[in-house]
């Protein structure tokens, strides 16, 4: 049951690393092509987090942080600020996903 969540988080964390590295290397064309799949994977992970929320006890403040992070990422994407988007995904969203993954390990 929680194995699904852990696997989903591991995939999302790996995908964030891969996609942000492309942006950091200034490979914008490839990074934007990969971004759609990365966002789909992140969305799937968040869906799985919410599915198991009652079992893993995600605190409300973490849920609100995820919402704020995703909002900030969307704003960075709207203005095509790849560096800000990468920093948000790498240093904010990945950190929260890692904390959740570590808490269920």
pLDDT tens digits, one per residue of 32-72: 999 999 999 999 998 888 887 765 566 677 888 999 999 99
Residue ranges of alpha helices (H) inside 1-105 are 2-24, 28-51, 53-56, 60-78, 82-87, 94-104
pLDDT computed for residue 31 by the predictor = 97
pLDDT computed for residue 11 by the predictor = 97
| Burial label, 105 (beta-carbon count in 10 A; 0-12, 13-18, 19+) | exposed
Residue 104 reports pLDDT greater than 90: no
- In this prediction the pTM is 0.88
Mean pLDDT for the chain overall:
91
Q: Residue 38: how many CA atoms within 13 Å on its side-chain side?
A: 25
């Amino acid at each position: 049951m929680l194995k699904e969540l852990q696997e989903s988080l591991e995939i999302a964390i790996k995908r964030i690393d891969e996609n942000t590295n492309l942006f950091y290397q200034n490979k914008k064309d490839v990074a934007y092509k990969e971004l759609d799949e990365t966002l789909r994977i992140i969305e799937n992970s968040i869906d799985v987090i919410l599915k198991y929320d009652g079992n893993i006890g995600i605190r409300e403040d973490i849920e609100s942080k995820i919402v704020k992070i995703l909002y900030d990422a969307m704003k960075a994407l709207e203005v095509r600020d790849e560096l800000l988007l990468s920093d948000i995904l790498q240093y904010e969203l990945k950190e929260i996903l890692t904390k959740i993954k570590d808490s269920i390990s």
